[in-house]
Structure 1
Amino acid sequence: METNKLKQLEEKIQEYETIISEMSAPIIPSIVPQTILVPITGLIRAERFEKIRVNVLNFISNKDVETAIIDLTDISGERVEGVCLEEIGRELHELSSAISLMGVRTLFVGLNPELVKRIVLDGIRLEAQTFADFQSALTHLMKEKGLEFRKIAE
């Protein structure tokens, strides 16, 4: 009987880990057509990048997406667990390369100075545009597409 309860608990833990993993890098359609936002939050572990990459590529393959905005605002030295900043730089390079191979442009937003320093010192090339924040990236995309916010007359 105890083995059965233990197995049920293990299954529940696995289910919760899956939910948490999916929530910590959700894929959100943007107000700019054919654009998605992927905010990466929470503790960063090497195995999470693989899950994020797979989720993003699967989403892109089933949708009409031209641009993926990867938001790294929440990534800092203390949020990284078991991964050095250099490795995060390499993971970001692989993520943007994979997205690019799917015909989708990558924009990174919210890179912090510590991560930028490691990326530059390690000679990692991010083949993507970068912006200080999500709003700057959206403003750029809207100008590119000839879109603008308008106040609706009441």
Structure 2
Amino acid sequence: METHRIEELERKIQEYETIISEMSAPIIPSIVPQTILIPITGLIRAERFDKIRGNVLNFIHNKDIETAIIDLTDISGERIEDVCLEEIGRELHELASSISLMGVKALFVGMNPELVKRMVLDGIKLESQSFSTFQAALKYLMKQKGLEFRKISE
């Protein structure tokens, strides 16, 4: 009886960990057509990047996605656990490269100065454009696609 209860609790824990993992890097359709937003939130651990990369690649597979905006606004020194900034830079490079191989352009937004400094000092290059904010990236994409906001008069 006790073994059954423990197995049930372990199954529940695994289920909750999966839900939390998916929530910590959701994939959100953007107002710009064929564009998704991927906000990376929560504590950063090495194993999370593999899950994030897998989720993103599975999502864009066979979908009409041209651009993925990866939002790092929530990532700061205290949010990084057991991962050095250099490793995060490498993981971001691998994420952008993977997305690119799927035919999707990666844009990064919200990088903090500490992460940027470490990436530059460690010689990590992203072959992706970066913007200070999500709004700046959206403005750029809208201009690229010939889209604009218009006020609708009543």
* Counterpart position of 1:30: 30
* Alignment pair present for 1:56 and 2:66: no
Residue ranges of structure 1 left out of the alignment (5+ in a row): none
| 2:85 alignment counterpart | 85
Secondary structure of the corresponding residue to residue 54 of structure 1:
helix
**How do 1:3-152 and structure 2 match up within 5 A?**
3-152=3-152
What is the CA-CA distance between 1:113 and the residue it aligns to? 0.2
* Paired residues, number: 154
Equivalent residue of 1:82, what SS? coil
Q: Runs in 1 of length 4+ with deviation above 6 angstroms?
A: none
Whole-Å separation in 2 of the counterparts to 1:81 and 1:121: 21
Shift of 1:152: 1.0
Amino acid at match of 2:123: G
RMSD: 0.5
Percent identity over paired residues: 81
Q: Residue 38 of structure 1: CA displacement?
A: 0.2
**2: CA distance between counterparts of 1:50 and 1:148?**
36
Displacement of 1:153 in angstroms is 1.2
